[in-house]
Structure 1
Amino acid sequence: MKQIEVQILGQGYLLGCPEGGESRLLEAVERVDTAMCRIRDAGKIRARDRIAVLAALNLAFDLADRSMAELQARRDQPAPMPPAATTVATSDDAQLTSLLQRLDRCLGDDGQLL
């Protein structure tokens, strides 16, 4: 495992990183550092641990919102029908059409079941 030294809120950290994951880790560090700096620069909170907790909560909330939006987008897209289901649906449509035609003949001009 590779180690990378990073700066978050002006403090150095030595982080373990799997091979090939350097860019993702650096992007995560950038997001955390930006979130923490934004909270610190607002001036209301000075304690580093409180800033970290608030930043973590903000990032988790954003992630949950994004996940919910993706889930909603997937729900809004029609699911593709598998080939076997298409065949069954086509067969069902033909049977339904035939049944409706038979009902129309039985009802005649009246158009009412009772």
Structure 2
Amino acid sequence: MSESQTVTVRILDKDYHIACPESERANLERAGDYLDKKMRDIRRSGKVIGTERIAVMAALNITYELHNKQRDAAGDGESSEQVAQLLMRVQQSLGDSE
């Protein structure tokens, strides 16, 4: 069994210390870098303000990407369309409340 170590992931200039098996360290660091990039892209767009809202939008965008990949693998376009519509409604709602 792999022993856990603390990995520091930096997202939007804030450090997060996460316990992680050594064998998964590189994957966690890549995931943190990917999330940081997505959040920075959203913040840079200027359409979403606030770290929490940026995090939600990044999570939705990443989930959308995941669903697209799963759909492509399974050949099911209906769930992807539903996620796209949900994402659009959330973006509109966040835009309306600011």
TM-score, normalization: structure 1? 0.60
Counterpart of 2:32?
Answer: 29
Alpha-carbon distance in 2 for matches of 1:30, 1:71? 28
Counterpart of 2:58?
Answer: 55
Alignment of 1:90-105 (within 5 A): none
Tell me if 1:38 matches 2:41. yes
Counterpart of 2:22?
Answer: 19
Which has the larger Rg?
1
RMSD over aligned CA atoms reads 0.9
Gaps of 5+ in 2: 76-98
- 1:40 shift after superposition: 0.3
- 1:71 shift after superposition: 1.3
Alpha-carbon distance in 1 for matches of 2:29, 2:43? 21
- 1:46 shift after superposition: 2.2
4+ residue runs of structure 1 moved beyond 3 angstroms? none
Alpha-carbon distance in 1 for matches of 2:22, 2:8? 15
- Count of residues in Structure 1 that have an aligned counterpart in Structure 2: 72
- 1:19 shift after superposition: 2.5
Q: Percent of counterpart pairs with the same letter?
A: 33
Counterpart of 2:9?
Answer: 6
